[in-house]
Structure 1
Amino acid sequence: MFWTKRNRGSVIAVALAALLVSGCGAGANSSGGTAQSGTSGSGASEGPTYSFRLAETHPADYPTTKGDVKFAELVKERSNGRITIEVFPSAQLGEEKAVIEQVQLGAIEFTRVSTGPMAEFNKDFGVFSLPYIFDNDEHVWKFLLSDKGMGLLDTLQSSGLQGLGWYSSGARSFYSSKPITSIEDLKGQKIRVIENKLNLAIISALGASATPMPYGEVYSSLQTGVLDAAENNYPSYYSSKHYEVAPHLLLDRHQRVPEVLLVSKTVWDKLSAEDQALIRQAALDSIEYQREEWAKYEKESEDAVRAAGVTITEVEDLTPWKDAVKPVIDSYRAEFGTILEAIEAAK
């Protein structure tokens, strides 16, 4: 586990928030949620009543948050109201990396996070940060829904987590406060990256200065010049309003980093096999809805930033980009060999 003074403070804050959310009427169980005695009825109605929390970084109208809500609705419906999951959007329970640590502890029961920071908790998830390994969105989903892709969800158990399903996050590209039309324009720029060492290596290979930073601090840092640039997908670029302070977008689509829906293994292990199956299936059944919402919002976001006057440049030839990062990919090939083979086979 990766503890800092800030993280210890976050855990204490979340624990206090959990007491307020849980209320005084029900006894808190050891999972961090609330449980009451069994209810009458049959099938999904039988068993303890649970009230859980799901931490989400993005705002309420964002496609991943909508996916979270659909998942929670399916769980509530299929358990006949016995299992409820309240979604907390807009980083109310903390930023992603700190939340992952809290989910490990069971202080928060569920979360939806990018697979980017997950590399710090499970090395296999670092493969998603490798650049240019997916050709398009169809290629991504062929892999994620394959046996190898779904199997990665269970590898998180050794990290105190259980993966439940994947969500879309589109393709990541660079945007800057300065004009950028080629790889040369990135040289020397201070670029915010997701907090993992692979992303640091990629940005360095492209000749820029990698700056790890929580997502919530990026806007002000771009505004004040602490950062020159960042990288993300269309919806995040739009919903965060980063286009206001970084109006130059270069579409290289260097990463297609999926999202993952997680539950604390501490919580998971206390659930019956029937409740586990119900929750897992609800997560899988929420994927199609989230993908549809993503595609819709991605188009709306693109249209909105174009209308706002953002300068958008499409990278026509990825050869120099791929050549620049090839040493990074080669250095991880031994570590991710079998997963990379599965990704290649999914084309």
Structure 2
Amino acid sequence: MKPTSLTKKLRLGGLLTVSALLLAGCAGSVGDTEGAADRGASVEPGASKEEYAEALADMEPVELTFQAASSATGGNGARDTAFAEAIEEWSDGKISVEVLFGYPIVAPSEVASALQDGRLDLGYEIPQYAPSEYPAIAELVNLQSSGGSGSAVSDFVNVAATAEVAWNTPEIQSNYEAMGVTPLVPVEAEFSHVAMCTDQADSADELNGAVISAGAPDLLQMIESIGASGTSLPYTELYEGLQRGVINCAVNGLKVGMATGVSEVAPHIVAPQDGSLGRSTAALLAGGQWDDLPLAAQQLIYDQLEVYINGQFEVSTRDYLAAMDDFSGGFHTVDDETEEALDATVEALREDVESSDALDGTKLIADYDAAQEKWTQIVEELGYEDNGNWSDFAENLDGESIDFSPLAERMMEEIYLEHRPAE
């Protein structure tokens, strides 16, 4: 499974069978409830389609409603569609999934309530939009700017490291329990934020006094540390805000930048020399009919998370590479004075986490740092080469595609399999 270069063929939604390296039935499994013996037979990890078809032969067909992350043609649309299609295919049609794009049922910060009352069965939630309801997750979000080293590969590492920490932090799991939902992907870290600016604002003098939009408290703290004025505009209003000069820059992921077309009005990408301007996080949650599904059906859906994880890497990387051409002003890193101010703020955010009332902040930091080190080694072992920031990475890649299936499979083995629904 080990790629020798970054030239493997990209396979959107490609499903690899999960390796049965860990025993099913571990404590803390998704859907592990009393009375599990009445939920039908268990299916072993790595089961074939035929074995799943046999296990679900007597199941009444069911349709699940899945409110996805974005529009069908933008952002994570291809990933979410591939995930739904894999569930239907592997269940031999016993489980169909209606994918709803554009948040037609509830806003992304209210998905948990719709899962509780049955309006949704699967949903893409953004816990950081509701920090009072997800205080432990908010602390993990505050660590995101300290993850990685300013390179593209550090984003691959952070996705895996953050997922591992989220699964292994009891307070994060308790946040979801209190909301009455079941996490499938408890924290889905996006790639690094950057500033998308109308001008090449990469020096302390140019950034001082600039008006910069960002959507999270940690980002606003970073913006204010460099002498800029922070404000919050919904991502749907970023284009107009930049076009009209209401804001000079918008801090967000380049996936959002590509989806909203802001490169037309803010063609300059500005990023730190190291680390990042934070990262967005989301979650894939289950509710509604989830608890009523046979155990084998829950296991089948959970096993298809490999498609979901693989798709996240693919679509995010696609958009970040495309942005290197789409943003005509180019990719710029800030000067030393600005970098020092940002570094000081990152350290202050870590100190805030350390004194958190929501969880053991010292342990969270230690776990996060250890997971970063672990997954840096794994990503290197799998052959993903670190060629610098996204601009350097794109230039070195020179149009070649990347196979993320080994990394997605490794995440399933190392992180997700332990929490697989069990008897």
Normalising by the smaller structure, the TM-score range is: 0.7 to 0.9
Contact 2:55 2:296 in 1 (8 A): no
SS of match in other structure, 1:171: strand
Counterpart contact for 1:134–1:140, Cα < 8 Å: yes
Alignment of 1:89-238 (within 5 A): 89-114=101-126, 116-117=128-129, 119-126=131-138, 127-135=140-148, 136-146=154-164, 148-151=165-168, 154-155=173-174, 156-165=176-185, 167=188, 169-194=190-215, 196-238=216-258
1:255 aligns to what?
Answer: 278
Alpha carbons 2:213, 2:232 under 8 Å: kept? yes
Find the counterpart in structure 1 of residue 367 from structure 2: 342
- State the identity as a percent: 20
What is the TM-score of this pair, normalised by structure 2? 0.63
Structure 2 vs 1, CA of residues 121 and 137 (structure 1 numbering), >3 Å: closer, same or farther? same
Cα separation, partners in 2 of 1:118 and 1:337, compared to 1, 3 Å: farther
* Deviation for aligned residue 1:82: 1.8
Secondary structure in structure 2 of the residue aligned to 1:132? helix
Tell whether the 8 Å contact from 1:115 to 1:128 is kept in structure 2 after alignment.
no
**How many angstroms apart in 1 are the aligned matches of 2:346 and 2:189?**
24
- CA displacement, residues 17-73 of structure 1 (integer Å, 9 cap, x when unaligned): xxxxxxxxxxxxxxxxxxxxxxxx841243233222222343323352222112111
Q: Using the alignment, how far apart are the partners of 1:185 and 1:151 within structure 2?
A: 42
Do 1:140 and 1:256's aligned partners in 2 also have CA atoms closer than 8 Å?
no
Seen in structure 2, the aligned counterparts of structure 1 residues 316 and 230 have a Cα distance that, compared at 3 Å, is same
Aligned residue for 1:149, secondary structure, equals helix
Give the C-alpha shift of residue 134 in structure 1: 0.8
Please report the TM-score for the alignment, with normalisation by the length of structure 1: 0.75
Residue identity opposite 1:43 in structure 2? A
Note if contact 1:223-1:245 (Cα within 8 Å) is conserved in structure 2: yes
Match of 2:388 in 1: none
| Mapped partners of 1:192, 1:52: distance in 2 | 37
> Amino acid of the residue matched to residue 229 of structure 1?
C
CA distance in 2, matches of 1:212, 1:109: 31
Q: CA deviation at 1:174?
A: 1.0
Give the equivalent residue in structure 1 for 2:334: 315
Distance 2:194 2:183 in 1: 26
- For residues 114-163 of structure 1, what are the alpha-carbon distances to aligned partners after superposition, in whole Å with 9 as ceiling and x for unaligned? 453253431122122435321112431441353x3333574422223322
Give the CA deviation at 1:241: 0.5
Distance 1:328 1:315 in 2: 20
Find the counterpart in structure 1 of residue 404 from structure 2.
none
* 8 Å CA contact 1:189, 1:209 repeated in 2: yes
Residue 267 (structure 1) shift: 3.7
In structure 1, distance between residues paired with 2:198 and 2:163: 37
Quick check: 1:49–1:82 contact (8 Å CA) kept in 2?
yes
Matched residue type, 1:295? T
The 2-side partners of 1:159 and 1:283 are apart by 22
1:76 deviates by 1.0
Residue identity matched to 1:239: A
1:77 equivalent among 89, 92, 99:
89
Amino acid at match of 1:201: Q
**Contact map agreement 2:123 2:285 (CA 8 A) in 1:** yes
Query: Are the structure 2 counterparts of residues 312 and 339 from structure 1 closer, same or farther at C-alpha, using a change threshold of 3 Å?
Result: same
Q: Determine which structure has greater relative contact order: mean sequence separation of CA pairs < 8 Å that are 6+ residues apart, divided by chain length.
A: 2
Name structure 1 gaps, 5 residues minimum.
1-40
What amino acid is aligned across from residue 159 of structure 1 in structure 2? M
**Structure with greater proportional strand content:** 1
Q: Deviations over 1:273-299 (max 9, x none)?
A: 332222222124431233133223321
Whether 1:289 and 2:311 are equivalent positions in the alignment is yes
Note closer, same or farther for the CA distance 1:87–1:188 as it changes in structure 2 (3 Å cut). farther
Q: 1:199 to 1:67 in 2, by over 3 A?
A: same
Residue 59 of structure 1 aligns with which residue? 71
Q: Residue 225 of structure 1: CA displacement?
A: 3.4
Aligned pairs, how many? 301
1:300 corresponds in structure 2 to: 322
> RMSD of the alignment, in Å?
2.8
Instruction: Provide the rounded CA distance (Å) in 2 between the counterparts of 1:101 and 1:216.
Output: 23
Q: Secondary structure at the match of 2:190?
A: coil
Kindly state the Cα deviation for residue 98 of structure 1 after the two structures are TM-superposed. Answer: 4.0
1:150-206 alpha-carbon deviations (Å, 9 max, x no partner): 335744222233221265621101122344113553333333222x44444343344
Question: Is the partner of 2:56 in helix, strand or coil?
Answer: helix
